[in-house]
């Protein structure tokens, strides 16, 4: 009973995205617990896609709106199916329910897409996020996917609270599962480059991810000119996968605004930087760049959105502020004050060790899965809304898919 099928939204790129790192953390967790894993995906691979052959995991490229997927899943005959984001569950959930009805269906949201969308709309309209923003069409779709699954993994405590308190989703359907990280020991900590060995600021994030692109623009237009005025010798090195021509045009050596593009080694990039800047204006979930900053001993300055649900009320490894003037002053202070910088670095290690224990959360997930399996019929009976949505709402997706499949046969 340990045959797991993972349906990926994309082929993971752990060196490009936090979502890619998250997926590989889940893969490692399940493999360590004796699961046989098959990974399938309908997206195209890129040069940055992870090679699952290294982990002896069988992979298949699948087609959208094609019954060949049904034949494949019957052959794999999974005991568990993990959907990578609700969009994957929408496309393939009904097929799994038909071809593998007894398989336990798990959804990994990565972050709540509808929350990120609501915040983006509110930001663009210069409004405070309200219930009207949150109850959007994406919310209806994403929450429907949560109900149709037996268990949904939520990466942020803020998002857990939102789903339970605001949208009244039963806690039996949800599990808080943050990034799964090894503890940083003192021996590792003492190998970090020193304050004097590091220089310049860093900003990093996949440019396809809209909050990251917006953050870079905000740095260029608002924050960096103020910092550069006070620290003329310092540079801001901007890293990220898939930089567009618009991104590359921001490069200005005279201003110290340096577009570096894709980082081959995030560890090396962070280890050489003194301070990480992440003035995120909207977004959701946990921020991989800020996790990396803590892991590699790089203090950071970010916004409330950036730090949301990431440190469990522990002191931040730097500063958190939404005010651009204060953001600038704290960035300069952190960059210039070695004692303050060292204290911030230690706080980052504490956050990693306290909040992201791989061992702790691995046990919680395995125990939750065991509990559901013991009473799977009762678990599904209690989730009557899920059965309603599976019976009715998903039929529109199902028959649209069948119509496209038949249409494709005629072309």
What pLDDT does residue 16 have? 86
Is it true that 3-181+358-410 and 186-355 share their CATH fold? yes
Whole-number pLDDT of residue 407: 77
Tell me what the mean pLDDT of segment 114-137 comes to: 96
- The overall average pLDDT reported for the chain is 95
- List the chain domain ranges: 3-181+358-410, 186-355
Does residue 114 have a pLDDT over 80? Answer: yes
Q: What is the pLDDT, as a whole number, of residue 398?
A: 75
Yes or no: domain 3-181+358-410 corresponds to CATH 3.40.50.2000: yes
The domain defined by 186-355 folds into Rossmann fold (3.40.50)
User: What counts of helices (H) and strands (E) characterise the chain?
Assistant: 20, 13
Q: Alpha carbon 172 to chain centroid distance?
A: 22
As a whole number of angstroms, the distance between CA 85 and CA 18 comes to 13
Query: What number of other Cβ atoms are within 10 A of residue 260's Cβ?
Result: 16
pTM of full prediction above 0.85: yes
Residue 121 has pLDDT above 90, yes or no: yes
- pLDDT-based confidence at residue 310 (cuts at 50, 70, 90): very high
Q: Identify the pLDDT of residue 406.
A: 79
Distance CA 40, CA 81 (A): 11
Q: What is the per-residue pLDDT for 397?
A: 73
The answer, yes or no, to whether residue 399 has pLDDT greater than 80, is no
Residue 393: per-residue pLDDT: 59
Q: What is the pLDDT of residue 404?
A: 79
What pLDDT, in 10s, does the model give residues 173-224?
Answer: 999 999 999 999 989 889 999 999 999 999 999 999 999 999 999 999 999 9
**pLDDT at 408 exceeding the cut of 70:** yes
Question: How is residue 389 written in tokens?
Answer: 């949505």
Q: How confident is the model at residue 253, as a pLDDT? A: 96
For the chain, what percent of residues have pLDDT higher than 90? 90
Q: Give the HSE-up count for residue 23: Cα atoms under 13 Å, Cβ half-sphere.
A: 28
Tens digit of each residue's pLDDT (9 = 90 or more) over 32-88: 999 999 999 999 999 999 999 999 999 999 999 999 999 999 999 999 999 999 999
Q: Is the dihedral of CA 149, 151, 154, 159 positive or negative?
A: positive
46 alpha carbon, distance to own chain's centre: 19
Please give the Cα distance from 358 to 127 (Å, whole number): 38
Between 1 and 193, whose confidence is greater? Answer: 193
At 221-237, the pLDDT tens digits run 999 999 999 999 999 99
Q: Is 130 left (phi over 0), alpha (psi -120 to 50) or beta?
A: beta
The three-point CA angle 382-34-37 to 5° equals: 80
Question: In which band, very low, low, confident or very high, does the pLDDT at 22 lie, cut at 50, 70 and 90?
Answer: very high
* Cβ partners under 8 Å of residue 164, min gap 6: 171, 174
394 pLDDT more than 90: no
- What's the pLDDT at 104? 97
């Amino acid at each position: 009973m340990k045959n797991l099928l993972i349906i990926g939204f994309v082929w993971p790129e752990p060196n490009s995205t936090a979502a890619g790192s998250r997926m590989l953390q889940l893969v490692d967790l399940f493999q360590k617990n004796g699961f046989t894993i098959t990974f399938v995906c309908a997206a195209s691979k890129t040069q940055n896609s992870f090679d699952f052959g290294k982990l002896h995991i069988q992979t298949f490229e699948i087609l959208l709106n094609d019954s060949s997927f049904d034949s494949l899943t019957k052959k794999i005959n999974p005991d568990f199916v993990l959907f990578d984001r609700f969009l994957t569950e929408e496309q393939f959930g009904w097929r799994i329910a038909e071809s593998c009805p007894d398989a336990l269906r798990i959804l990994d949201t990565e972050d709540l897409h509808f929350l990120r969308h609501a915040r983006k709309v509110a930001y663009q309209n210069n409004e405070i996020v309200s219930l009207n923003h949150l109850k959007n069409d994406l919310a209806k779709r994403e929450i429907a996917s949560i109900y149709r699954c037996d268990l949904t993994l939520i990466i942020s405590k803020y998002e857990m609270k939102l789903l339970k308190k605001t949208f009244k989703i039963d806690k039996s359907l949800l599990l808080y599962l943050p990034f799964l990280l090894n503890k940083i020991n003192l021996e590792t900590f003492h190998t970090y480059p020193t304050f004097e060995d590091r220089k310049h600021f860093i900003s990093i994030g996949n440019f396809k991810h809209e909050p990251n692109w917006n953050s870079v623009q905000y740095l260029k237009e608002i924050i960096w000119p103020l910092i550069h005025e006070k620290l003329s010798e310092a540079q801001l090195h901007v890293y990220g996968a898939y930089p567009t021509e618009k991104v590359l045009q921001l490069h200005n050596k005279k201003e110290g605004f340096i577009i570096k593009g894709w980082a081959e080694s995030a560890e090396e990039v962070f280890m050489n930087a003194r301070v990480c800047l992440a003035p995120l204006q909207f977004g959701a979930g946990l921020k991989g760049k800020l996790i990396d900053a803590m892991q590699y001993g790089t203090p950071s300055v970010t916004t409330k959105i950036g730090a949301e649900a990431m440190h469990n009320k522990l002191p931040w490894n730097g500063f958190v502020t939404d005010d651009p003037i204060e953001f600038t002053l704290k960035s300069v202070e952190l960059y210039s004050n070695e004692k303050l910088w060292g204290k911030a670095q230690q706080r980052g290690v504490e956050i990693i060790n306290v909040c992201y224990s791989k061992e702790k959360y691995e046990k919680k997930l395995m125990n939750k899965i065991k509990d559901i399996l013991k009473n799977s019929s009762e678990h599904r009976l209690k989730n009557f809304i899920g059965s309603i949505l599976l019976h009715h709402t998903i039929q529109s997706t199902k028959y649209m898919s069948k119509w496209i499949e038949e249409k494709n046969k005629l072309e």
